[in-house]
Amino acid sequence: MTDASTELAPLAQASQDLYATVRRDAPLVQCLTNFVSMNIAANVLLAMGASPAMVHATDEAPEFARLAGAVVINIGTLSAPWLESMLLTAASANQAGIPWVLDPVAHHATAFRRSAVQQLLALRPAIIRGNASEIIALAGGQSSGRGVDARDAVAQAEQSADIIARAHGTVVAVTGETDYVTDGTRGVHITGGSALMPCVTATGCALTALVGAFAAVAKDDPFTAAVAALSCFAIAGERAGMLAQGPGSFAWRFLDALAALEEESLTRESPLR
């Protein structure tokens, strides 16, 4: 499978249309995410015009999922009670026809995480977003990852992403220096961003939350939803990186760049390759 299978101009236009819809509709995104990422994920969603809800308690999260436009599940700071809530919430979202997005953070690090991610995969996420090491391991390969760090190139994970997408009927977004999105049939690369992005904690987790916002307004097209979210991140990251003097100034400049992103940027500055 090659990028030639995807017509990039129509995909860029569809991404732009989804961006406009997110801004207009302000979708509610329920995030069961890790403690480290809650603040930045909420701020990224707000900067894009979406509405974040960090609702994760077992007593209410499954019920709340039926009110949300999309659910995002991130296993970064996993515990047994959180896993129970994640499983119940994903099942509830499925019953209500609500798309949910999985971020399998460091799922290969421990037996508890490996078991957790297999249980979550069985509940059919619409989109999986991870770094190259996580995606390689998720497909059963040997990755060089250590904890949450990605030590493999995205190019090394593309075949793994295709395998996962076909096996689970999902869209897989592999993020790194150059991103790759696949539904098992189509594939596209996304360039841009900044070398400073990995220096700001939970940037990837926040991207997963943003994928949820786009999935909420494109329930029947998770491929384009993932592409659109990653495109926004890439353009804003590149703009912020040009002005930043380090990780600290990049963090706030990136939020500003997301908030200031013009609709036509998704076609005029399309990062699709």
Contact of 155 with 133, CB cutoff 8 Å? no
Residues making up the annotated binding site are 54, 129, 175, 202
Binding residues for ATP: 129, 175
Q: What are phi and psi of 126, to 5 degrees?
A: -70, -35
Please give the annotated binding residues for substrate, written as ranges: 54, 202
Angle at 172 between CA 230 and CA 53, to 5 degrees: 60
Assigned token pair, 213? 């916002």
Contacts of 229 (CB under 8 A, 6+ apart): 207, 210, 211, 213, 214
Residue 191 CB contacts under 8 Å (≥ 6 apart), including other chains? 178, 179, 234, 271, 273
